[in-house]
């Protein structure tokens, strides 16, 4: 089973949505977690609202700190547009960056577009063969 860790700076929007989509779409074929370098106090309420529109609840999700143990757990680490950020943990493990815009402070209409982009990328990820 593939284990995917989604990482963004605050673990409050993009990485939370990606984790939730992977869990929702994987049908037991993969596991997901998410974390951030500087976890926020809570998940972005607009991201929660955007995901609820897809029938996916982020109500119980909480931002968490990226740790070496969490990075070691993952078979694959995907950053969510933070690879150019100085605090991004690119040295911890091989990563790929999806260059996803940050939903923080954005209106629901923009967060919907970000959500849809994440859903598409997670769907494509799940179509890849396991190594």
Q: How far apart are CA 5 and CA 47, in angstroms?
A: 18
Catalytic residue among 43, 51, 77, 82: 82
Under DSSP, is residue 30 helix (H, G, I), strand (E, B) or coil? strand
Strand-pairing partners, residue 30, are: 2
Catalytic residue among 4, 5, 7, 8: 8
Q: Considering only CA atoms, give the Rg of the chain.
A: 13
Task: Provide the token pair at 19.
Answer: 């984790």
Q: Is 88 a catalytic residue?
A: no
Determine which helix (DSSP H) or strand (DSSP E) holds 68, and give its type and residue range.
helix 68-73
Q: Which residues carry out catalysis?
A: 8, 82
């Amino acid at each position: 089973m593939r284990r995917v860790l989604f990482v963004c700076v605050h673990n409050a929007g993009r990485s939370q949505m990606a984790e939730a989509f992977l869990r929702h779409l994987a049908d037991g074929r993969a596991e997901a977690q998410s974390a951030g370098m500087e976890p926020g106090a809570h998940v972005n309420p607009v991201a929660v609202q955007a995901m609820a529109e897809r029938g996916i609840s982020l109500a119980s999700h909480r931002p968490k700190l990226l740790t070496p143990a969490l990075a070691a757990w993952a078979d694959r680490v995907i950053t969510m547009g933070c690879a150019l950020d100085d605090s991004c943990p690119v040295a911890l493990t091989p990563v790929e960056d999806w260059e996803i815009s940050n939903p923080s402070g954005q209106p629901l209409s923009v967060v919907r577009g970000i959500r849809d982009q994440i859903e598409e990328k997670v769907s494509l990820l799940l179509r890849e063969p396991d190594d």
